[in-house]
Amino acid sequence: MGCMFSHLAAKFAFFPPSPPTYHVTKTPDGKLSAVSSSASSTFPATGDSSLDVRVVKTRRGNKVAAFYLRNPNARLTLLYSHGNAADLGQLFDLFVQLKVNLRVNLMGYDYSGYGASTGKPSEYNTYADIEAVYECLQTEYGVGQEDLILYGQSVGSGPTLHLASKLPRLRGVVLHSGILSGLRVLCHVKFKFCCDIYSNINKIKKVKSPVLVIHGTEDDVVNWLHGNRLWKMAKEPYEPLWIKGGGHCNLEIYPEYIRHLYRFIQDMENTTTKSRLKKIRQDIRRRDESKGCCSFGLCSPKCPRCPKPSCDCSCDCRCDCSCKWSCPSSKGCFSCCKKPSCVSSCCKCSCPSLKGCFTCCKKPSCVSSSCCIPKLKCCSCFGKPRCPKCSCWKCLKCPESECCCADCFSWLCFCGGGRRKEGETRGGTTG
């Protein structure tokens, strides 16, 4: 049933130009060349090294036509996935402009059933198409994912994000008028349906490379909200380009389009693994702060919403904003904090690093800022001495586990760190 729905959805998603605007021929020396079907678009003469025409076989048995445009000054390669109503013949002039202005090598391809490609267009055929073209870039041109930027326009955002989600070291991704999913273009839905295609809303979360989103504010085919949400859901979003007044098929004519895209390419060229990891950490920290999460460093809890951090152990300390704070080195207890405040009048916390239980009244405090043994200032147990090793003392005289008698001076430390006998005073021994 799901396959039938997907086939039906494909009928509404793909509109290949008919007849195709070009065809592929073989020259006497065995090389492939493209011949335009109209006078409006011309291809380089046969033998021109700036254009390679390829036919690539996919894992689903189709043969896909691809153009590779070479730039001698390029450091990166752009893999372009076009929209649902164009083919390589219509896009060739644009490819030449992008190759020159962005200083990149560019590989464009036609989906199954488009242009000179065989088969019929479908969601899963496009996935196989882009995988086959990427393999061609690897084997024929030596392009690794570290030197590759994926570019998807409209429906092309589907195969683009499909491949991007599988390449963790990809240099970057460009989503031009991208879609959240096929069904969401037609109507606003919050759930996934079996008849839906190109579930980009789920795949964008798996992309680990920088993502540039370009969208027109007056797009009447794919609403601007699609691009905005894709940008917000990206793990590493690049500064987006919202072209004011831009539609669905005319963003390339705006000057800011090529300027912003060029800046993105330059930033990707200058990006190293070290600087990229640093930027990811900064973005995560910035997002956490904007959400009000208690993501503090050890020994310095600072919640942006309230002054009461929470510990994950069995005590009753809770932050007013219901966020959670935990200290990994102490398994969630207060051994690494400065001054967490209890909501209740007193809380009991069991911490393995403290060699027993301690009772804190409102404000336990650390001796140092590192992982340490807290020096407790109890507000009620005035007769309780202080042990340099731990804070867990037991009164030998009273049956209660916690003695609050001001005149009781018979104490035994659980860790054997010391003992105060009767007759001793707090300031020293008597007699």
Catalytic site positions: 154, 219, 248
Neighbours of 100 (CB within 10 A): 13
Residue 5 falls in which region: left (phi positive, over 0), alpha (psi -120 to 50) or beta:
alpha
Peptide bond into 19 cis (omega under 30): yes
Comparing CA positions, the residue from 116, 80, 92, 87 lying closest to residue 43 is 92
Parallel, antiparallel, or unpaired for β 77-81 and 105-109? parallel
**CA 57 – CA 43 distance, rounded (Å):** 23
- The answer to whether 63 and 56 are in contact (CB under 8 A) is yes
Neighbours of 164 (CB within 10 A): 28
Neighbours of 377 (CB within 10 A): 12
- The answer to whether 132 and 57 are in contact (CB under 8 A) is yes
**CA 409 – CA 411 distance, rounded (Å):** 6
Neighbours of 29 (CB within 10 A): 7
**CA 385 – CA 290 distance, rounded (Å):** 45
Question: In which residue are the tokens 């049933």 written?
Answer: 1
**Helical residues (DSSP H) of 81-239, grouped into ranges:** 88-102, 123-141, 157-164, 182-186, 200-203, 224-233
**CA 353 – CA 365 distance, rounded (Å):** 16
- The answer to whether 165 and 94 are in contact (CB under 8 A) is no
